[in-house]
Amino acid sequence: MTYFTAYMIWQPKLPIFWGGLLLIAIFAWAFFLFSRVKRRYSKQKTLLLIIPKIIIALLLALLFFDPAWAMTRQITEQLNFLLLQDHSSSMDVTDLEGKSRFERAQEMATDLEGMLPGGDIELESMIFEDDLFSGKEESENGEEERIRPTDLAQVLVDANQRQRAGDYDGIIYLTDGGDERFSPSEFPPIPLYFVGIGAGVGDNNDLEIHSVDVPSTVELETDFTVGVNLRAYGDTGFLRQLYDVSLELQIFNERRENGWESFETKRIDIRDSSAIVDFRVDAIDEEGHYKMRLIAEDMPDEMTYLNNKRYFTVNVEERSLRALLYSPMLGQNEAVLRRTLSEDAGIELTSLVRMRQDQYVIKSDGEEEAFLKDGFPTSVEDLGTFDTIIIGSFPARYWREEQMHALVEFVENGGSAVFLGGSDSFGLGGYYNTPLRPLFPWAIRPDEPSLSIGRISVTLTSAAIRQDVIEGWAGKMREAHPQYLQSLNHPGRLRRGAVSLLDAPHDRGDVAVLAIQPFGTGRVLGLATNTIWRWRMAGDEERRAYDHLWKRGIRYLAGKGEGGRFLRVNFDQDNYYPGERADIDIQIIGDYAEGRVSVNAVKQFEGEEEERLSTQRQPSGVNEFRSRTFFAQRGDYTFKINAFVDNEEIESFERTMWVGSRLNEGANIYPDHSFLRDLASRGGGNSYRENEVEELTEDLKEQLVSRSVHRTEPLIQYRGIYLILILLTLVAEWTVRRRLDLF
């Protein structure tokens, strides 16, 4: 049912003083006119002549007072909310009041129905148990037990599709949160409300594999390290027994009867509530995807054993990355970086140091390039033998013009570059009026302030945390102690398209210390400090953060992509979740005239009918294309891309990728309230803890009030009444004058 209420309001265009003077002037004019006309006519005729004029004057005065109808339409139609209850395996955990999370969620659903006005708000309750995916694990007796996963990403996609019918006014999801963060590209067009179910960290006895640091891809015949962060919570009695905890690394071997083969077992003392453990995995001499898992010993009185396991996959590929470090003067920043990268067997580093004019020292992990004897290359072809060029801090006068142009073209064509900070970098180094200026992620200035010296704190940005640009680095930074720098450049504001990963608050304004920007088809990283090397000399956590930044960061920048000799394909992310979009950059290698090259791209979901993808030619080059696709559900997607020159196929590409969570259910057992809050705010709703149900009900009731529609319409414009009154008054005056023969 709908109710209307209306009342009149005034919206004066004049201040009160001038409005009052206007009314006084009208009444004075009317009195003067009445006195004057009364001398010639009777009182009755005088009134008949004067009243129309007064009405016209008052109607004209209304223009300055702007009366309006304020109308309210109260809609009392019923609101319908979809109430989803998470029934994943982690919801079986008993962590509060002797009840499982699922039992408390069911009680909460019942309480919500009783607390909301039944005639105005209707709840449709549904238990969300995903029957499309069955993760299975071997129990101790060899029997398979079904693991029900939490998949918030799929829930949002399904909710969006369900809402297309317009059945609901909002969605409430009772969940303990997913195991991984994601960034959906679409949200349902209705508010989302999350209630995070689960006790806080430390409220129960628990041993967990908190995080695992392992490269997603390693080079063939290269050793790598699996770093494990173990944490324990609980009372003194529970922690006291954790002096000899077993932690085992296993590798899946399809030739074994149970599939899993023990690689190494370590005994860990975790009575201090945390421990860092490293497993050194010997070089693997065969390409492929290797499944691995870590198993921490199940301890008595634990809240759950779900987070005692962690599954992951390592891709082994024959792909070695080549980097060139160039600096006429080798400072501590460059020296520590060179030593760090040289320790990585998957990176072949060459350093080029100018000792004096026309004399250079070359140190290489591989075969030396003869053209480096003459200094930094002047041709794109020579630079193209490297994937990444690292530039130290030195003045612009050490460059030759052709060298700078070669570096710009190298990055523009898909290479990558790193610029290190210092007293001779960016604007301080005289780079403002050079061809290299567009490469910097900042809009550098010729009057750049001098290097700041002191104890300077730094913070991770949302891009570093949410987007995880350098895979796993944000996690390493959070594990390290609060980080500081001893120097800071002030290169200027970030360029459009550049992204800051690390900020430093400063009285001159926040500075993007670590920034990345795309340039052409390549990438550039800038570092606005020359003291980050000190992190490697600090504690273990700081050293890990430093090593991770450079070893993973160089790989991210290089982004060699996939493909073959003539076709290169780059996906904008390594991993995707339902509800996310993928941007696929496709490049055909070779110098072909516009119109000669073309590509064909298709996507196939788990053997279903192929879907042809549209490809848009990029303005950056005649041989570059981009395709965009949306992942509607989790599963295996196969991409097939064909490259053509003059309508003849020259090369094809095929890749199958998993879209969905990569962590086993319960790996992150505690609700991620900050992530739920972010999702809810982006979806137009809110997030609550399980003791905040009353706040949720109040917010839902407010939606009833928000369905009151308010509208204001000026009387002067209301259905033409104002104009009709003026015309009727004029007609009335004309009629009176005619009858009284006053023309």
| pLDDT (mean) for 97-107 | 93
Report the C-alpha gap between 24 and 419 in whole angstroms: 76
pLDDT digits (tens, 9 = 90+) for 157-196: 887 776 655 678 889 999 998 778 888 888 888 889 999 9
Where residue 133 falls among pLDDT bands split at 50, 70, 90? Answer: very low
Q: DSSP letter for 506, please.
A: -
Report the C-alpha gap between 68 and 8 in whole angstroms: 6
Q: Is the pLDDT of residue 140 over 50?
A: no
Out of 63-72, 289-298, 310-319, 343-352, least confident range: 63-72
pLDDT of residue 696: 93
Cβ–Cβ < 8 Å for 695, 680: no
Report the C-alpha gap between 158 and 579 in whole angstroms: 9
Q: Is the pLDDT of residue 622 over 80?
A: no
pLDDT digits (tens, 9 = 90+) for 509-521: 789 999 999 888 7
Q: Is the pLDDT of residue 254 over 80?
A: no
Where residue 95 falls among pLDDT bands split at 50, 70, 90? Answer: very high
Rounded to the nearest integer, the mean pLDDT of the chain is 84
Q: Is the pLDDT of residue 99 over 60?
A: yes
Cβ–Cβ < 8 Å for 214, 224: yes
CA-based angle 178:181:186, to the nearest 5? 100
pLDDT of residue 163: 64
Q: Is the pLDDT of residue 711 over 70?
A: no
Where residue 542 falls among pLDDT bands split at 50, 70, 90? Answer: confident
Q: Is the pLDDT of residue 132 over 60?
A: no
pLDDT digits (tens, 9 = 90+) for 25-83: 888 888 888 888 787 777 777 787 788 888 888 888 877 877 777 766 565 567 888 89
Q: Is the pLDDT of residue 122 over 50?
A: yes
Report the C-alpha gap between 152 and 683 in whole angstroms: 13
Which H/E stretch holds residue 705? helix 693-705
pLDDT of residue 221: 76
Higher pLDDT, 412 or 287: 412
Helices and strands (H and E) in the chain: how many: 14, 40
Cβ–Cβ < 8 Å for 362, 354: no
Cβ–Cβ < 8 Å for 27, 57: no
pLDDT of residue 730: 84
Q: Is the pLDDT of residue 304 over 90?
A: yes
Q: Is the pLDDT of residue 498 over 60?
A: yes
pLDDT of residue 130: 45
For the chain, give the percent of residues with pLDDT over 70. Answer: 88
pLDDT of residue 735: 83
Q: What is the DSSP string of 282-349?
A: PPP-S-EEEEEEEEEPPPTT-S-SGGGEEEEEEEEES--EEEEEE-SS--HHHHHHHHHHHT-TTEEE
Where residue 2 falls among pLDDT bands split at 50, 70, 90? Answer: very low
Residue 244: C-alpha distances to residues 202, 241, 266, 510, 683 (Å)? 21, 8, 9, 47, 46
Q: Is the pLDDT of residue 436 over 60?
A: yes
Ranges assigned E (strand) in 93-138: 94-96, 99-100, 121-128, 135-138
pTM summary value: 0.62
Determine the length of the chain. 743
pLDDT of residue 347: 84
pLDDT of residue 743: 58
Q: DSSP letter for 234, please.
A: S
| pLDDT (mean) for 424-452 | 94
| Token pair for 445 | 């200035």
Beta-strand relationship, 459-460 and 452-457: unpaired
Where residue 143 falls among pLDDT bands split at 50, 70, 90? Answer: very low
Beta carbons within 8 Å of 273's beta carbon, 6+ residues apart = 231, 232, 233, 239
Cβ–Cβ < 8 Å for 334, 327: yes
Residue 527: C-alpha distances to residues 494, 504, 668 (Å)? 12, 12, 33
Where residue 462 falls among pLDDT bands split at 50, 70, 90? Answer: confident
Backbone angles phi, psi at 134, to 5 degrees: -125, 105
pLDDT of residue 32: 86
The 3-state secondary structure of 629-660 reads EECCCCEEEEEEEEEEECCEEEEEEEEEEEEC
Higher pLDDT, 135 or 654: 654
Report the C-alpha gap between 705 and 708 in whole angstroms: 6
